[in-house]
Amino acid sequence: MTDDFNTDIYYDDDADVSTLDDATVAVLGYGSQGHAHAQNLDDSGVDVIVGLRENSSSRSAAEADGLTVATPAEAAARAEVVSVLVPDTVQPAVYEQIEPELEAGNTLQFAHGFNIHFNQIQPPENVDVTMIAPKSPGHLVRRNYENGEGTPGLLAVYQDYTGNATERALAYGKGIGCTRAGVVETTFREETETDIFGEQAVLCGGIAQLIKTGYETLVDAGYSPEMAYFECMNEMKLIVDLMYEGGLGAMWDSVSDTAEYGGLTRGDDVIDDHVRENMEEVLDQVQNGEFATEWISENQANRPVYTQLNQAEKDHEIEEVGERLRELFAWAEEEETEDEEESAKVQADD
C-alpha cells in the first residue's frame, strides 16, 4: 500500500485471495463485467457460482466456461459473498429476489455505487457492503488477467459489519486481477458521482458532441465528409492513446509544433468559461440526485427519450461515413472478427 497520494492504493502484497477460501462467491450477471469477474475468480481458485434467471441466454455461455449456474436467489443462498453485476437499471429488482437469502456477516459486493448511493437498494445492517470497480470494460479485465497483467480498480466500503470488509474486498480485487495494477480507495459517493459526471461531460457525452460538432463545422464549410471524419473522429484514438500512455505531456511531445501551438492557443476558445459553467451544472444535477431521478423515471416509462436520442445518434451522417470508410481499410476485416467476439460477451444477457 502507498500513501504518496491523497488516498491509499493497494497492490498484490496488500491482498490475500485465501481470505475467500471458506467462502462461495455468487456473481449475479454474466455480461461485460460478470463474465470477467466470474472467470477470473474461478481461475484464482475461488469457489464461484453464477446467478442468472432461468431463461437467460447467458446460461449456456457460463456453463460452457465451466461455471456452476443457478438462479440469483439460489446463488445468493449458497454464497457468503454476493457480487451484483447486472445492469444498474435491473439491480433493484434482482436485489428483491436475493435479499431474503442474505445472512449476517455476508458481503454484498458491487462494481458501481449508483443504487446504493441513490438509495435504490437499502441493504440490511448486518452485512458488509463493498465495491471493487475495475476501471475498464469487462472484456479487457478478462484479457489482462489472462495475459498476466492487471486492470486498475477502485475500492470502497459502504458498510463494515464484520470489521473485515476491506480485507475481503481486497481479496476479491486480487481474485479478478485488479491489485496487480493497483486499487485506489474511494467512497460509494465519490465513485458514483465522478463516474456519472465523467461519462456525461467528458468520456461519452462531451467527446461525442465535440467530434460531431467538429465534423459538422468542416462539412458545412464545404470540406469533404471523408476528410472531416478522419480529422475529427479517426485521429481521436491516436491522440487518446498518447494521453493514456503518458498523460497530456506525452501527447504534446508527440504531435507537431504546429499542432501543439494551435491546440494550446485555441483550445480555450472552444472549451471556454461557458463550457465550464455547463459542466458545473451537469455536476450539480449528478450531486443533487436530479439525474438519478430522471434516469429512474425514464426507465419506468420504458425509455422514450433514450430511444429517440439513441436512434438520432445512429442516424447521424458521421456514422454512415465512418462505416463506409472503415470497410475500405486493411485492418477492418481483422478487427471485425475481434469485435464480433467481444460484442458477444458484452451484450450477453445479464
Q: Is 37 a catalytic residue?
A: no
- Hey, what's the cell of 241? 492513446
- DSSP string for 102-159: --TT-EEEES--HHHHTTSS---TTSEEEEEEESS-HHHHHHHHHTT----EEEEEEE
Tally Cβ neighbours within 10 Å of residue 85: 26
26 in Cβ contact with 83 (< 8 Å) = yes
Strand 183-185 with 9-10, pairing: antiparallel
Which residue out of 35, 37, 112, 139 is catalytically annotated?
112
Rounded Cα–Cα distance for residues 24 and 41 (Å): 10
User: If we measure between CA atoms, which residue out of 46, 54, 52 comes closest to residue 31?
Assistant: 52
* 350: Cα separation from own chain's centroid: 15
Write out the catalytic residue numbers. 112
